[in-house]
Every structure is written in C-alpha cells, then in structure tokens.
Chains A and B, each alone.
Chain A
Amino acid sequence: DTGVSQDPRHKITKRGQNVTFRCDPISEHNRLYWYRQTLGQGPEFLTYFQNEAQLEKSRLLSDRFSAERPKGSFSTLEIQRTEQGDSAMYLCASSGQIGASSYNEQFFGPGTRLTVL
C-alpha cells in the first residue's frame, strides 16, 4: 500500500497525559499537512511541512501541540497535557513538489481518532 498511513488509528487517554501520533506520507511527496476534524465538521488546518521545515502553523495549534518532521519523511504530532477538547480525528495529508502531477492534490491518511477521558 503506497498511500498515507497513520498510527495509531485510535487512542484513548486520560486528561493530562501526553500523546504522540505518527504519519507516513506517500514516499515521493515532500509536503505534509496535519488537520483536525471534530464531529460534524470539516477538517481544519493545523500545520504544514515542506521537507523537514515547518512553514505554517494555525492559531489552532496551541503551545501544547508540537509537530516535527526531522528527516523530511515521516512526521509526528505530540499533544502535551491533553484536554477533553482535544478529542477529535487527527488527519495527515501529503502532496508532491512543484512540477509533480500531485502538486495540486492532497491525499489523506485514515486518521487517528483521539478520545480524552
């Protein structure tokens, strides 16, 4: 399977705990995005990487959230001191570089559903 993969698919945690999610983009894609989707809503942009550089962060990304893409391949999203309001589906997407046929396409992974008790 050469699509975007995310791990874990589901995470249940207690309020105040830290959680980390992983995203593996399509291998030749240099751009990677994180979105958050709450029930009944469309995805909302969180942050974006081009290769290993984090180039944009949404105001939704509080200082409890941190994302990395150290080698320009997989990415991790960490949430510290989780709150019940963090419960959502966290989606990762990737797209190709300028000139690639996938430059204007974003392909999504299956998501990680986080439940904070």
Chain B
Amino acid sequence: GEDVEQSLFLSVREGDSSVINCTYTDSSSTYLYWYKQEPGAGLQLLTYIFSNMDMKQDQRLTVLLNKKDKHLSLRIADTQTGDSAIYFCAEKRIYNQGGKLIFGQGTELSVKP
C-alpha cells in the first residue's frame, strides 16, 4: 500500500489511550477502514467511516477523519493488553466499483502492563 501510510510501531501502557495514525493520497476515497490482525490470524473489521463524516465513535474506539489533510486516526480508550496486535487502515476508492481495499503497512501496537 504505497498510497496509504502508517507509522510502524506504537507502544503504550495499559489503561492509557492509543492513537494510531494513517495518511492516504487519493481524494476519491469513499470509505476508510480499520482492521485488527493478531499473530497468525486473518483481519478483523473494527470500524469504518464514510468520507463525508469527520468522526465516528464505537465503544472504546473513536475514528477521526480529516479529509482536507487526508488523515485518518483510530483512538483506543483504556487500552488493554488484549489490544496488542497489528492495526491496518484501508481505503476504498469511488472508481473501484468492485470495492477492493488498499491497505497500509500496518501499525504494531504493543501494550505494556
């Protein structure tokens, strides 16, 4: 995903908030997604946001979208050790009728007790 960029690592203490950032380049993105991947497993869809929204909250997760700067973030409140995983952001572009997703490289979140 050279068009979707994420920082590679983030380390936080249990109970703190985590903020994972993502930037994308294509202004035609319609939906933006966050997936979680634990070692050796497939991807779990956490949440997604339509491009005309700027915020979405779902329990401990808050997604912020700055469409002008093409910046997406995922905030995890009260981070737990079970949140340790790799988090991928992904975009779907308006001209991709089939809906394929373009993924970033992933951010490895490490939660220390």
Q: Count of A-B contacts with CB under 8 A?
A: 65
A40 and B6 alpha carbons, distance in the complex (Å): 12
The count of chain B contact residues (Cβ–Cβ below 8 Å) is 26
A46 and B44 alpha carbons, distance in the complex (Å): 19
The answer to whether A110 and B41 touch across the interface, beta carbons within 8 angstroms, is yes
Name the segment of A14-22, A63-71, A80-88, A99-107 touching the other chain.
Answer: A99-107
The count of chain A contact residues (Cβ–Cβ below 8 Å) is 26
Q: Which residues of B contact A107 (CB under 8 A)?
A: 45
A45 and B102 alpha carbons, distance in the complex (Å): 7
The answer to whether B105 and A42 touch across the interface, beta carbons within 8 angstroms, is yes
Contact with B along A31-57 (1 / 0, CB 8 A): 101000000111111001010000110
Q: Which residues of A contact B35 (CB under 8 A)?
A: 108
Tell whether A33 pairs with B31 under 8 Å between CB atoms, given A42-B1, A107-B45, A110-B41: no
